[in-house]
Chain A
Amino acid sequence: MARVLIQFAHPALSKSKVHSSLINYCRNINDVTFNDLYEKYPDMFIDVAAEQKLLLQHDIILFQHPFYWYSSPAIIKQWLDLVLEHNWAYGTRGNALVGKKMGCVISCGGGPDTYQETGRNRYSVNQFLLPFDQTAHLCKMEYLPPFVVHGTHRITKEELMRYAEQYRAILEALVHDQFSALDYQKVTYLNELAPSLLTTK
């Protein structure tokens, strides 16, 4: 069993169909905590002590947010800057997060084809996410492949539904420790672990 913390950030959730649907699917899973950062800190004034306590209570930390300018909305950066303190999260005496897992759950307007050398965005999603990868590494955490919802500009209801079900299945699998380190190494996106999971069920 593992406890999952979803650090959610969307400054205009009332305008986002994708994240509203994802949230509906993940909100009521046992051992998954949903932490709505923009709702909790509308003025970006993050309560560092409370956030650190929350981190200690969970094993897997997921940042769920739209892929703004190839990165996260501002509050996630603010959160990283303030909460991951030296000698707490990293540094010689910073061992609070050792052994935990960290990953990203993002939504991008462009399709998978745009995120490659010949595409409009020239680099892959995983390349853009390198700062998160390295942050996890510096904090002695294990970095997970991202869960990505592509092509949100033209997504259909059915596609969105499929993504949401995938997301839910993966979260439940994470809670129940159903993936091995090898599974993570095999895939680019976390999504890929979902079909097998859905069919076996």
Chain B
Amino acid sequence: MQETFFFQAMVYLAAAVIMVPIAKKIGLGSVLGYLLAGIIIGPAGLKFIGQEGTDIMHFAEFGVVIMLFVIGLELEPSRLWRLRKSILGTGGLQVGLTAVLVAGLALAFGIDWKQALALGMICSLSSTAIVLQSLNEKGLMKTPAGQSSFAVLLFQDIAVIPMLALFPLLASGEIAPATEGGHHSANVLDSLPTWLQPIITLGSVAAVVITGRYATPYLFRIIARTGMREMFTATALLLVVGIAVLMTTVGLSPALGTFLAGVVLANSEYRHELESDIDPFKGLLLGLFFIAVGASIDFDLVLANPALILGLVFGIMLAKLVVLFFLGRSFSLTRDQNAIFSFGLCQVGEFAFVLFSFSSQEGILSKEITDTMTAVVAISMALTPLVMLVNEKLMLPRLTLTADVVEDRESDLVDEQDSPVIIAGYGHFGSTIGRFLQANNIRTTVLDSNSDNIDRLRRMGYHVHYGDASRHDLLEIAGAAKAKVIVIAIGDEEKRLEMIETIKKHFPELHILVRSTNRYDAYDLMNAGILHIYRETLDTSLRVGIDAMTLLGHRAHEATRAAKMFFMHDERTLKRLSAIRNDDEYYSAVRENQQELSRLIQADRTATTLRVDEGWDEESLIADNGS
């Protein structure tokens, strides 16, 4: 086997490129795809990578650091301040209760109390990388469940620091400290006097905040002026790496440091630029990290003692689930949100690897325990995307239906039975339609799958139902059998097609009005047999066109009519081209795009439909009278 860097890179990239799209296609999500890729190329599979998987994992943990920087960028200080209660409350209780519960279980199995406590603390942590990546991918970050998950994960990241400080006290002396390995060298502070250590630590945090706030915008301005994109990327990376180094030196979590820097920069004008530059690194490093996790699962160990390992995985996840579910309830998450929250966070996280190697160094846990537990943690992480998937497909449908529609909200469904209009999706698009119809005394029933949105709308007195509008039973309850019109205003293209299929099958009488993202999406909708298709940006773009013409000195009325003609012409061409496109299925998407663009322009030039209103044109009349 070649051990060159390029060969390694090729193996990792190829595994990711093959597995991730497959996993996504069959609905497993990218995280599971990476994990599977890792298992396949790892020691248990094709043996492309061996023990160096763990080293790569430590390198790839930097992906988590970058991820927290990006999350920080998206989180303005004011929002963080609003989250303080759930960070300290939910997060604190989660870590505390889980640690106590797991430690108690370990004690019950006859493990020494010091080791039990260490295990408890380690198991209380969840995987920031897997959970946030999965929630982001499913678009759940903005939901109450997503926010609570984030709060808990943030607290855990902070909690790692006192844990690292606490661990040396748990060393029992019975276990000889491991000499080899050890990725955490003692930090420079240890040689300094005790009174100076907290000052330097606090000083570093202050340095990050002050630098982020006052120095970096200035720095980025200079860099931006060079007009070299890669310099900007390099500076952004330098910032993140620099903070990570500084934080590690003073013994703080690098993830926490970069998160802080991200929050500080969230209000700066370079935020989007930074985000888009850093994002690919984040994605690749996280992917690498997940592959490493998959590869590090020691299947020999698992096969040697399957009952113990699987029992531990199951027991720990269950214990975490119970604590999380209880917390979700006490912090008044709705049932479905609580399910997302507790099933999402019930694994043990990547910090466990760090803490395991640290504790075997310090002689807290024996090698057998750390080896076994490393496998347990890796398996629990690998199971997370699966657990989330099961929750999403099997649990949520039942929960949402019983919790939100049948039990609690039956009363307002009864009088809504005869709303003539159902609106699916109540974001900016759908809500405008809803407000317009309501202003004209037309009753509407609204379905939305964003419970955050729903609570807000309900408080404002709207009749809104939580639920996936592509489900036949939910449509039935919403009165689809009696309604005349259904407006599909959700933003997800695939979901829309799913919905259309359901409606056509079960409620063929219903008029379907569908929002479409662009002309390609409109083609799909036409092929699905939809008559009323509304491209969401078409009307607005034309209004801009009208204003542009008006500002150039054209008469407003003429510009408006020109836009209307263009609109009608465009709708007609769309219909024509949708048919042509089917024959050209083999053309690559790029060529298709270009061809169509030129076709459109050609069609515009020759179209007789775009002529001016000749009835208002006097030229021919004057010519005629003159003769």
**Which residues of A pack against B, CB within 8 Å?**
43, 45, 48, 81-87, 91-93
Is B627 part of the contact surface with A, judged by Cβ < 8 Å?
yes
Chain A interface helix/strand/loop/mixed? loop
Q: A48-B614, A82-B613, A86-B620 are in contact. List 18 more A-B contacts (CB 8 A).
A: A45-B564, A45-B568, A48-B613, A81-B615, A81-B616, A82-B615, A82-B616, A84-B615, A85-B614, A85-B615, A86-B614, A86-B621, A87-B624, A91-B621, A91-B624, A92-B624, A92-B627, A93-B624
Residues from chain A with a CB closer than 8 A to the CB of B616 are: 81-82
Contact with A along B525-566 (1 / 0, CB 8 A): 000000000000000000000000000000000000100100
Q: What's the A-B contact tally at a CB cutoff of 8 Å?
A: 30
Residues from chain B with a CB closer than 8 A to the CB of A85 are: 614-615
Instruction: List 20 A–B pairs whose Cβ atoms lie within 8 Å, in order of A's numbering.
Output: A45-B564, A48-B613, A48-B614, A48-B615, A81-B615, A81-B616, A82-B615, A82-B616, A83-B615, A84-B615, A85-B615, A86-B615, A86-B617, A86-B620, A86-B621, A87-B624, A91-B621, A91-B624, A92-B624, A93-B624
Residues from chain A with a CB closer than 8 A to the CB of B564 are: 43, 45
Query: Contacts A45-B561, A45-B564, A92-B627; is A87 near B613 (CB within 8 Å)?
Result: no
Residues from chain A with a CB closer than 8 A to the CB of B621 are: 86, 91
Contact with A along B606-621 (1 / 0, CB 8 A): 0000000111110011
A124 to chain B, nearest CB (A): 30
Query: Contacts A48-B613, A81-B615, A82-B613; is A87 near B620 (CB within 8 Å)?
Result: yes
Tell me the bound Cα distance from A33 to B613 in angstroms. Answer: 26
B555 to chain A, nearest CB (A): 16
A44 to chain B, nearest CB (A): 10
- Closest Cβ neighbor of A80 among chain B residues: B615
Tell me the bound Cα distance from A48 to B615 in angstroms. Answer: 9
B613 to chain A, nearest CB (A): 6
Contact with A along B53-67 (1 / 0, CB 8 A): 000000000000000
Contact with A along B580-620 (1 / 0, CB 8 A): 00000000000000000000000000000000011111001
- Closest Cβ neighbor of B564 among chain A residues: A45
Tell me the bound Cα distance from A48 to B565 in angstroms. Answer: 11
Tell me the bound Cα distance from A86 to B613 in angstroms. Answer: 12
Tell me the bound Cα distance from A91 to B620 in angstroms. Answer: 9
Residues from chain B with a CB closer than 8 A to the CB of A92 are: 624, 627
Q: Which 5 A-B pairs have the closest CB atoms?
A: A82-B615, A86-B621, A91-B624, A45-B564, A86-B620
B574 to chain A, nearest CB (A): 17
Tell me the bound Cα distance from A168 to B561 in angstroms. Answer: 38
Most B CB atoms within 10 A — which of A48, A82, A86? Answer: A86
Residues from chain B with a CB closer than 8 A to the CB of A82 are: 613, 615-616
Residues from chain A with a CB closer than 8 A to the CB of B620 are: 86-87, 91
Residues from chain B with a CB closer than 8 A to the CB of A45 are: 561, 564, 568
Tell me the bound Cα distance from A91 to B623 in angstroms. Answer: 10
Residues from chain B with a CB closer than 8 A to the CB of A43 are: 564
Residues from chain A with a CB closer than 8 A to the CB of B615 are: 48, 81-86
Tell me the bound Cα distance from A174 to B520 in angstroms. Answer: 51
- Closest Cβ neighbor of B622 among chain A residues: A86
- Closest Cβ neighbor of B613 among chain A residues: A82
Residues from chain B with a CB closer than 8 A to the CB of A84 are: 615
- Judge whether B561 and A86 touch: CB under 8 Å: no
